[in-house]
Amino acid sequence: MTAFIEDYGVYVPSGRVTSKTVSSLFGKGLPGFKTVSMPELDEDSLTMGFEAAKDSVAKINGKVDAIILATNSLPFEYKKGSSLLAKMLKIEKAWCLDLGASHLASAEALWLAAQLVDGGKMNRVLVIMSEHPMPQLGEEMDFGWGAGAAAFLVSSQGFAGLNFLDPDYDMEAYDVWKLRGDNKLRFRPETLDDNFKQAMGKFVNSLGGKEALKKYKFMAMSMNRSRWSKVIPGAGITPEQIDSVNCANYLGHVGTATLGINLALAFDQSVSGDTILGIGYAHGNIVSMEIKVDSAPNNLQLADSLQCGIEKNLADYWQAAYNRRLRS
Amino acid sequence: MSVIEYRRTAIEKMFLHGYTCNECGVLHPFWESYTCGACGSSNLTKTFLSGKAKISHIGVAYYPPTEFKGEEPYLLAEIITEEGLRTSARMVKMPLDTLQVDDEIKSTIRRVKVGDEGEIYYGIKFDKA
Amino acid sequence: MPIKIGVLGTGKTKHGILYDRSLRDLMVEAGRKAMQDAQIDPKDIDLLVVGNAASIGFNSENNLSAMIGDHLGLVPKPNVRCEAACGTGGWAAHIATLGILSGLYKTALVIGGEKMSDVTTDVGTSIIAQAADAKTEYFGGHTFPSGVAMYATRYMSRFGATEADLAHVAVKNHYYGSKNPDAQLRFECTIEEVLKSPYVAKPLHLLEVCPMTDAASAVVLCSEDVMKASNRPQIYMTGTAVGSGTYYNTCDQLEDNWALVKGPVDQAYAMAGVKPDQINIAEIYNAFSIQEILGLEAAGFAPYGEGWKLVAEGQTHHDGRIPINISGGVLSKGHPLGATGTSEIVDVVQQLNGTFAGVKVKDPEFGVSVNRGGPGSVCVCYVYQRMS
C-alpha cells in the first residue's frame, strides 16, 4: 500500500428532525430513518466541508498538494467549489478539483487521492465529502435527506493504508436521476432497490463469496436507503459489521458524505490490525476499497455526538430545507 | 454589493484580521487600514488573528436589514480578541441564552449574506469556544 | 472685489474602470496626494468637505465624510459631505471656500470621489437618472443622454450646426485626452469616426458622450495669509459663484442651458475683476459635446450660437485663442460624478503652476472652471489667478 489515511474529521450540524415532524407536514414520515440532520440557514456544503477539514488542515499548516471536493450539492450549478474551500482552509498552491454527478464521487475522490499520492507525485491530498440537502417539496418522504461532511487527509504515511479493488461500472441504469433544466429529482424505487441488490450480489461474488467478507471488521458503505438493509444479511454482512457504522439511521441520506461519515465511525472503533471494507455505491455501480488499520487513530467519539442533536420544530425545518425566510 | 466588490473583498472577509502599524507597532481593527490612529503613519500591514475572543457586550437583533430577514432573532456581540482588539461579531445560530458577557468564543466561517447579483459572501461568525 | 482663496495643493487618482480600487481607496489616495502637494500635515487641516453624488446606490455606503475623515487622520476636525449631482465637486469646494471666507477655518481639504464600476451599466444609469425627476419625467424611461439630445437638436435647428460641426468638440477633447496620462479614454478620433459611432441618443454619438468612471481628486484650499506664508506657487481662486436651474428636463430648454452658466460665470468674472478675453485656460463641463459649446458661449468666449465654430477653427486648442478642456474634458477623463468638479479645479491649477501631466498651455495667468450638474440644475464657477 502506498496511500494512507493520515487524519480525518467529520462535521454534522446539531439540528435533528424527527419522522414525526416530517409526517406532520406531509402526512408521511421519513423513509425508515429515526431522524435526519438539519443545517442552519447559514450553512451549506462549503461551510460544512470547511468545518470537517479545518482541524486536520490546521495541524499540518495547510500543506496540501491537492484538494478534491466530492459533492452533489454545491451552492452553485455553475461555479467552482473546491478552490473557494481551499481559500477558506488557507490552502495555497494546491490543485483544486470538484467531483460530482453521483454519490460515488466520495469513493472516487479517495481513489483519485490515492493515485496522486502513489509514487510520491504528491505528498498529501485532502478529500472532502459534503452534502447540503436542497429538496423539492416532498422528497423527504422518499429520500430523507440529511446534511453533513467528512474530510480525509490522504498521504504517503498514516494510520490506515488504502487498497482499491477493481471498480464496477457495468450496470447502466436510471434509478435516481435529474435532467439539466428540470427541477424535479426523478426516481424509481424498484430499480433503486433492485440495482443495489444486484450490485451487492455481484460484488460479494467478486470477492470470493460471503466467506470472504468475514475478515472485515467493519463494512462502511454508502448506505443511503433504509430498505437496502434488507439486502445486507443476504449479502453475508453481519450486524456487527454494519450497525455501528451506519449513520443514515440518525442522520438521513447524506449523499456522498455518507460513506465518509461511516468510514470515520469505523476508524473511531478500530484498533491496529483491523481491516475495513469501504463500499461506495450509486446507480448499481460500486467503487470499493480495503483499508488496513495499522495504528489506532484519534478517537473522535463520533457515535455519541452524531446521534445526539437538538430537535428542530417544523417551522425551523421548513425554513432550512426550503430556504423560505419565514419571519419576513 | 456587487460581484466587482466581491472580487476585491470577499476572501479577506473570511479571516479575522487587523492592521499593525509598522512605525509604532499598534494593532488596529480591520477598518483602520489606511492611517494609524496612534501615530498617523500610513505604513500598516495586515495581520491575521487567532480567532479566539471574549464577549464584551451581547445583544439580540429582532428587526434585521433586508438581506437578513428570516434569520431573526440572532445574536450579535462586541468582542475583545485574544490580541486585545475590540471588534464586532455575529454568532452562529444558537439558543439566545447560550452566551454571556466574558464567555470565550472562537471564529469560524459561515454564509453571511447573498449580494445584489447573487454572489454569496462567506464570512466570520463566532461559536462558543 | 476679488476673493483670495489659496489653492495650496492638488491631487488626483487616475480616471478609469478600476475594479480593484474601492471608493475609500480612491478618496484616500487623492486626499493624501493633495496634502503632500500642499506640504500640510493632516492635523493642520481645519475642515474636510467630501463631494460624492451617489455612494448609496453605487457602493452601498454612506456617511462618507466621516469615513474619509477617519481614514486620513483628520478626526476630530469637522467634516461634511456634499451632493449636487454632477456639480457635487464644484459645490464641495464652494462650501470650503465659504468656510474660509467666514474666517472660521484657515485650511480645508476638499475631496471629490465616485466609484461607479461596482454596479452594471443599467443599474448605474438608473442611479444617475435619479438626479433628475425619477418619479414623473424620468419614470417612463427618459435618460440623461436623451434629455441632452433634445437641446442639442434645438441648437442645431436654430443655429444651423450639423452633427459634423458638433463632432469637432469630441475630436478635440479625445486628442487632448490621448495626451493626458490620467484620462480614462486615451485615443484620438476623426470626425468620420465620431459620426460612425453608434447613437447614444440622437443626435449624440457614442464618442460625444462621457463614460462612467472611477476616480477621486482633491484640493487643499486656504486663506490668503496661509498661502502667502507658504512656499507654494501663489495660485488663488479670485472669483466664485453658484447658480441653479431647473430640476425638470422639460423645462431644460436650450435657452435655460445657456442661462444656467451665464449667470454664475458673469458673477465670478465680476468678483475676480477679469473679462473673458483675459482667460488663458478653461475647464468647461462637457459630459456631452453640446455642453462645451453652450458653456463656452455662456462664458463669453463666443457669441451665442457660434461656439461650435470656435472649436472647429482650432481656437480652443492649447495654442488657440482660448484653450478649453486641454485635459480632454469630461468626454475623455470620464465622469466620476462627485469628482468631476474637483478634477476641473485640479486641472486648471496644474496648468497654472505648470505641473499638468498632459499638454501644457504656455504660461497661463488666468483660468476659469465651469461645473454644471443635473438636468441643468446647478452651475458652480471659479476664476483663478496665478500671482507672483
From the list C19, C71, C120, the residue facing B34 with the nearest CB is C71
Strand C79-82 relative to strand C204-205, pairing: unpaired
For cell 461645473, name the residue.
Answer: C371
The domain total for chain A is 2
Grid cell listed for C36: 503632500
Give the least confident one: A207-221, B72-86, C140-154.
Answer: C140-154
> Domain with A47 in it: what CATH number?
3.40.47.10
Task: Evaluate whether residue A298 is within a structural domain.
Answer: no
Task: Compute the half-sphere exposure of residue C67: CA atoms within 13 Å on the CB side of its CA.
Answer: 19
From the list B14, B69, B120, the residue facing A75 with the nearest CB is B120
Contacts of C7 (CB under 8 A, 6+ apart): C219, C220, C221, C235, C236, C237, C345, C349, C384
* Residue range(s) defining the domain that contains residue C227: 5-119+212-235
What are the pLDDT digits (tens) for A133-151? 888 888 888 999 999 999 9
**C379 is known as an active-site residue:** no
Nearest CA-CA distance, residue A65 and chain B, Å: 20
pLDDT of residue B65: 83
Type of residue found at C334: G
Rounded percentage of chain A residues whose pLDDT exceeds 90: 84
> Is pTM, for the whole model, over 0.95?
no
Domain ranges of chain B: 51-128
Distance separating alpha carbons of residues A250 and A303, to the nearest angstrom: 10
Chain C residues close to B33, C-beta within 8 Å: 71
Q: In residues, how long is chain C? A: 388
Strand C47-51 relative to strand C79-82, pairing: parallel
> How far is the CA of A53 from the CAs of A59, A113, A221, in angstroms?
10, 15, 21
Task: List, in sequence order, the alpha helices (H) in A118-255.
Answer: 139-143, 189-207, 231-235, 239-242, 248-251
pLDDT of residue A326: 54
Shared domain for C185 and C224, answered yes or no, is no
**Residue environment code for B109-119, b if the CB has 16+ CB neighbours within 10 A, otherwise e:** bbbbbebeeeb
Contact C385, C365 (CB under 8 A): yes
The catalytic position among C82, C86, C189, C222 is: C86
Contacts of B78 (CB under 8 A, 6+ apart): B55, B56, B57, B58, B86, B87, B88, B89
Give the least confident one: A118-122, A233-237, C284-288.
Answer: A118-122
Strand C47-51 relative to strand C107-115, pairing: parallel
Shared domain for A131 and A252, answered yes or no, is no
Say whether residue C57 is in contact with chain B using an 8 A CB cutoff. no
Shared domain for C255 and C188, answered yes or no, is yes
Q: Is pLDDT at B17 greater than 50 in this prediction? A: yes
What is the mean pLDDT of the segment spanning A158-176? Answer: 96
Distance separating alpha carbons of residues C18 and C3, to the nearest angstrom: 37
What is the mean pLDDT of the segment spanning A170-187? Answer: 93
Q: Do B69 and A328 touch (CB under 8 A)?
A: yes
pLDDT band at A219 (very low <50, low <70, confident <90, very high): very high
What is the mean pLDDT of the segment spanning C142-170? Answer: 88
Give the least confident one: A221-235, A288-302, B61-75.
Answer: B61-75
Chain B residues close to C19, C-beta within 8 Å: 4, 7-8
What is the mean pLDDT of the segment spanning B28-48? Answer: 89
Report B:99-128 residues touching C (Cβ under 8 A): 117
pLDDT of residue C250: 64
Average pLDDT score over chain A: 93
Nearest CA-CA distance, residue A108 and chain B, Å: 27
> How far is the CA of C174 from the CAs of C152, C332, C371, in angstroms?
20, 6, 19
User: Which 8-state DSSP code applies to residue A135?
Assistant: P
pLDDT of residue B70: 83
Shared domain for C185 and C315, answered yes or no, is yes
What is the DSSP track for A181-205?
T--SPEE-HHHHHHHHHHHHHHHHH
Chain B residues close to C118, C-beta within 8 Å: 2, 4-5
Contact A220, A262 (CB under 8 A): yes
Task: List, in sequence order, the alpha helices (H) in A60-187.
Answer: 82-88, 105-117, 139-143
Distance separating alpha carbons of residues A57 and A63, to the nearest angstrom: 8
Task: Compute the half-sphere exposure of residue A4: CA atoms within 13 Å on the CB side of its CA.
Answer: 18
pLDDT of residue C252: 61
Shared domain for A177 and A253, answered yes or no, is yes
What are the pLDDT digits (tens) for A184-205? 899 999 999 999 999 999 999 9
Closest CA to A46 of B111, B108, B127, B51: B111
Task: List, in sequence order, the alpha helices (H) in chain B.
Answer: 3-9
**Residue environment code for C213-235, b if the CB has 16+ CB neighbours within 10 A, otherwise e:** bbbbbbbbbbbeebbeebebbbb
Give the DSSP H/E element, type plus range, for residue C209: none
Shared domain for C206 and C224, answered yes or no, is no
Average pLDDT score over chain C: 94
Closest CA to A319 of A38, A18, A24, A33: A38
pLDDT of residue A324: 66
Report C:251-280 residues touching B (Cβ under 8 A): none
pLDDT of residue C166: 94
Phi then psi dihedrals of residue A313, to 5 deg:
-85, 175
pLDDT of residue A328: 42
Say whether residue B43 is in contact with chain C using an 8 A CB cutoff. no
Shared domain for A205 and A237, answered yes or no, is yes
Q: Do B8 and C20 touch (CB under 8 A)?
A: yes
Name the interface residues of B facing A (CB cutoff 8 Å). Answer: 11, 14-15, 69-72, 92-93, 108-112, 120, 122, 125
> How far is the CA of A1 from the CAs of A121, A295, C103, in angstroms?
15, 15, 85
Grid cell listed for A299: 478517537
Q: Do B109 and A326 touch (CB under 8 A)?
A: no
Contact C32, C72 (CB under 8 A): yes
Distance separating alpha carbons of residues A156 and A151, to the nearest angstrom: 17
Say whether residue C70 is in contact with chain B using an 8 A CB cutoff. yes
Strand C204-205 relative to strand C214-222, pairing: unpaired
Distance separating alpha carbons of residues C186 and C179, to the nearest angstrom: 7
Shared domain for C138 and C267, answered yes or no, is yes
Q: By CA distance, what is A84's nearest residue in B?
A: B11
Q: Which residues of chain C form beta strands (DSSP E)?
A: 5-12, 47-51, 79-82, 107-115, 199-201, 204-205, 214-222, 235-244, 281-284, 366-373, 378-386
Closest CA to C260 of C252, C248, C249: C252
The domain total for chain C is 2
Helix axes C88-101, C340-352, angle to 10 degrees: 70
Shared domain for A240 and A134, answered yes or no, is no
Shared domain for A170 and A260, answered yes or no, is yes
Other CB atoms within 10 Å distance of the CB of residue A134:
18
Distance separating alpha carbons of residues B94 and B74, to the nearest angstrom: 8
Q: Is pLDDT at A99 greater than 60 in this prediction? A: yes
Task: Evaluate whether residue A327 is within a structural domain.
Answer: no
pLDDT of residue C133: 76
> How far is the CA of C55 from the CAs of B1, C74, C133, C337, in angstroms?
11, 21, 19, 10
Contact B32, B19 (CB under 8 A): yes
User: Which 8-state DSSP code applies to residue C138?
Assistant: G
Helix (H, G, I), strand (E, B) or coil at A268: helix
Rounded percentage of chain C residues whose pLDDT exceeds 70: 98
pLDDT band at C71 (very low <50, low <70, confident <90, very high): very high
For cell 484620462, name the residue.
Answer: C183
Shared domain for C108 and C186, answered yes or no, is no
**C205 is known as an active-site residue:** no
Rounded percentage of chain A residues whose pLDDT exceeds 70: 98
Q: Do C71 and B35 touch (CB under 8 A)?
A: yes
Distance separating alpha carbons of residues A265 and A301, to the nearest angstrom: 8
Say whether residue A84 is in contact with chain B using an 8 A CB cutoff. yes
Shared domain for C101 and C159, answered yes or no, is no
In the β-sheet with A66-70, what is the strand arrangement from edge to edge? A95-99, A66-70, A124-131, A148-155, A3-11, A160-164, A285-293, A275-282, A218-221
Shared domain for A155 and A58, answered yes or no, is yes
Give the DSSP H/E element, type plus range, for residue B107: strand B104-114
Q: Is pLDDT at C159 greater than 60 in this prediction? A: yes
> Domain with C107 in it: what CATH number?
3.40.47.10
Distance separating alpha carbons of residues A78 and A81, to the nearest angstrom: 9
Higher pLDDT, C202 or C108: C108
Helix (H, G, I), strand (E, B) or coil at A219: strand
> How far is the CA of A17 from the CAs of A135, A223, A280, C182, in angstroms?
14, 19, 26, 61
Shared domain for C130 and C109, answered yes or no, is no
Contacts of A287 (CB under 8 A, 6+ apart): A104, A107, A108, A111, A164, A167, A168, A279, A280
* Residue range(s) defining the domain that contains residue A143: 3-161+306-321
Task: Evaluate whether residue A170 is within a structural domain.
Answer: yes
pLDDT band at A301 (very low <50, low <70, confident <90, very high): confident
Shared domain for C35 and C165, answered yes or no, is no
Nearest CA-CA distance, residue B51 and chain C, Å: 25
Q: Is pLDDT at A327 greater than 80 in this prediction? A: no
pLDDT of residue A167: 97
User: Dihedral of CA C187/C191/C195/C196: which sign?
Assistant: negative
Closest CA to B71 of B38, B39, B93: B93
Shared domain for A121 and A227, answered yes or no, is no
pLDDT of residue C251: 59
What is the mean pLDDT of the segment spanning B99-113? Answer: 94
For cell 458673477, name the residue.
Answer: C267
pLDDT of residue A166: 96
What is the mean pLDDT of the segment spanning C188-214? Answer: 94
What is the mean pLDDT of the segment spanning A238-249? Answer: 95
pLDDT of residue C333: 97
Q: Provide the number of CB pairs (under 8 Å) joining chain A to chain B.
A: 45
